[in-house]
Structure 1
C-alpha cells in the first residue's frame, strides 16, 4: 500500500464498506495479497485523487446562469454563475440566506467569492461571474458585496485546529428584488436541514453541469487535504478538512469545476426537500461514473458558524 500511495480512507456505514483510495492502481495481482475485510467490513481499493482548486479555469458545459421570469421580471436564480468582480473566475451561487437581523445574503464557497481569504470585505460580487461574461449573454451586474468567510487555515494537525476549517462565504445581496431563491427554476431552496447519511439520494443545481442527481457514497474517516491556489494573490496551500462526504452521480459526474458552492439537497419519502451540504471539491474515482467523485461539507455547521438561515419562497 505504501507503493500505491494511500491518499484517503472513507467508510459507508450502510454497506459496511471501507474504501482505501490510492494514487496508483491496485491490480488483480495486488489483491491476492491484500485483505478483503476487517472487523466484519468489506474493503475496496479504488484509485482516486483530489483535484487542486484554482489551478485551472473551469469551462462551462451548459447554461452558466439562470434568469427566472417571475411576474414579468427576470430574476437571477440560485445555481447560477458568480465571482468577485476582480477575478476572472466563476463558481456557483448556492442559496440565499438571512442573518439574525433579517439581511439577505448569498451563500457560496470561500474559494469562490472569498478567493481563499483574499477578497476584501465589500468587494463587488458579479453575476454572472467574470469568466462567463460574453457577447449575447446576460449583461453582468453587481449582485452583492463580499461580507465574510469561514476559516481556511494552512497547516497540519497539532499545529492548527483543523476542525475550524470550512469552505464557505457569504455576500450581502444589493437588491433583494433582483434575485430568487429558486434553484435554476427546478425547485425552490428548502429551509429545512438534514444531516447527511450514507446512500442518501441527493441533487443539486450548479453553474457548470446544471441539475444533477446522485448518491452519497460515504464519509472520509481522516482529515482530507485539499490543495488551493489563488495565483493573483500569490497564494497556494493545502487545507485539511474534517467531515468530508463523497457523492457519485447516477450516470454522469455529479459535478464539475465551476459547480463549487452548489447547495446539495435531499427529498424524503414524504416528498419534503431538505438541505444537506455545500459542494466544494472533486476528484477522480475508479468506481464513479466517468471516473469522477464529488466532495461536500455538511450544511448545518456552515449555517451555524455564519449565523444565517436558508431562505426559501423568495420571488418564486
Structure 2
C-alpha cells in the first residue's frame, strides 16, 4: 500500500491500484487515524496501544481541504461498521451540507459519514425517568422486583438499572449492573445495601424501597493511560448478592425473561433492552469504536472525578427513539435470532450525542461475555417468572 495514491474525484477517494486486495473497513479506519495523528488532528493514545493498532497501517494521502475541514470541525473519534463498509468520523462541530460538497463520501471503497457527537459525562446530572422506573412482576402468587428496574446504593441519591440476575459457582444469586451504578466508581464498601428502587426514584405512590442486596465486587475501572494502567482490564460492571431471592425476578420488566445464552456483538445486529429510564427499547448496532473511548465519571458525594479508557466499545442507535438515556446504565442488551430465541449481547454503560441517531443520541455498550467471565458468574433465567 506504500505505492498507493489516493485521488479525489467527485468527493470519492479510491485506490489507484486495481489489482490490490481490498482492505478491510478496520484497516481503512486505521489508515485515517494514522493520518490524523501524524497531522496533529487527533492526539495519540499513550503507551504502545497506538503503535500496535497502526503497526500495519499506511496513512491515507488526503487533500488540504479535507485536512483543513477535519481540523476546523475537531475530529474526536472514529467508529467503523465492517458489514456495511462504513466509517464514522465523529466531530465536535457540525459538518454542514455545504461542507459535504468538499468532503469525500468514500475512502478506499469505504463509505464515510460525518456525524457530530461527543461522549457524555457520567454522574454529572441527576436522571429523570421517562416512564416506569420500577416493575413488579406477579409470579407464584407474589410480587417480585424485576430486572430492568431502578436500583442504587443506599447512600447515594442516584438511580441506575438492575441489568440481570447472575449466579456464581456456589449457586449464590447476585444482581448485575455497572460499577458506576452500584459500585459508585469503586467507592461502595463491601456489604453496602443496594436499594430497590434507587434513592432518586423513591416517592409517594411508587414501590416502597427495600434492601435488594449487598455490594459484592466490581471490575477494574482504573484512571490513567495505557502504560500506567492496563486499559484492557477496564470494564464498568459490578455485582451485589441478593438478600432475599424470593423478592426478585429474572423477568426483564415483564417483557421477556433474561436469556442465559450469549452471542458476541456484530455490526447491524438488531438488539433490545429494558432499562430504568426509557423502559423497553429496540435498536441496531451501528459500529464499533476504533480506539479506546475515554469516559468522564464523577461521584460528587465521594469527591471522585476522573477519565477512564475502555476498549471494545460498541455503538447503538435506537429505533425511532434513543436506545438508552441516563439511568438506563446497567441494562442487559439482548438479541433475537432467526428462530425467535434471545441471547445476551452486552451491558449498557454510557452514551453521547450523535447527529445521525434518533433525537441526536447514541448508546455505548461493552460485550457481556468478558464481563461474566471476569466476574465468574453466569446469567440466570427462569427465576420467579
TM-score by length of 2: 0.81
1:212 aligns with 2:281: yes
Residue 31 of structure 1, CA deviation: 2.8
Residue 46 of structure 1, CA deviation: 0.5
1:72 aligns with 2:141: yes
In structure 2, runs of 5+ residues without a counterpart are 1-69
Residue 151 of structure 1, CA deviation: 0.5
Structure 2 match to 1:18:
87
Of 81, 93, 97 in structure 1, the residue corresponding to residue 162 of structure 2 is 93
Q: Where does 1:1-316 land on structure 2 (aligned, <5 Å)?
A: 1-316=70-385
Measure, in 1, the Cα distance between the counterparts of 2:183 and 2:132.
23
Measure, in 2, the Cα distance between the counterparts of 1:74 and 1:183.
14
In structure 1, runs of 5+ residues without a counterpart are none
Residue 6 of structure 1, CA deviation: 1.4
Measure, in 1, the Cα distance between the counterparts of 2:360 and 2:339.
33
Q: Tell me which of the two structures has the higher relative contact order, counting C-alpha pairs closer than 8 angstroms and 6 or more residues apart.
A: 1
The number of residues matched between the two structures is: 316
Measure, in 1, the Cα distance between the counterparts of 2:305 and 2:98.
38
CA offsets, 1:116-175, max 9 Å, x none? 000001100000000000012111000000000000111112222110000000000001
Measure, in 1, the Cα distance between the counterparts of 2:79 and 2:166.
31
Residue 243 of structure 1, CA deviation: 0.5
Residue 26 of structure 1, CA deviation: 1.4
CA offsets, 1:207-248, max 9 Å, x none? 000000110000000110010000011111111001000111
Measure, in 2, the Cα distance between the counterparts of 1:237 and 1:30.
35
Task: Identify the range of structure 1 (41-50 vs 26-35) with the bigger mean alpha-carbon deviation.
Answer: 26-35
Measure, in 1, the Cα distance between the counterparts of 2:128 and 2:220.
27
Q: Partner of 2:320: helix, strand, or coil? A: coil
Residue 60 of structure 1, CA deviation: 0.8
CA offsets, 1:33-74, max 9 Å, x none? 333222211111100011100000000110000000112100
Higher strand share: 1
Structure 1 residue ranges, 4+ long, deviating more than 4 angstroms after superposition = none
Measure, in 2, the Cα distance between the counterparts of 1:105 and 1:124.
13
TM-score by length of 1: 0.99
RMSD of the alignment, in Å? 0.8
Radius of gyration: which is bigger? Answer: 2
Measure, in 2, the Cα distance between the counterparts of 1:182 and 1:149.
23
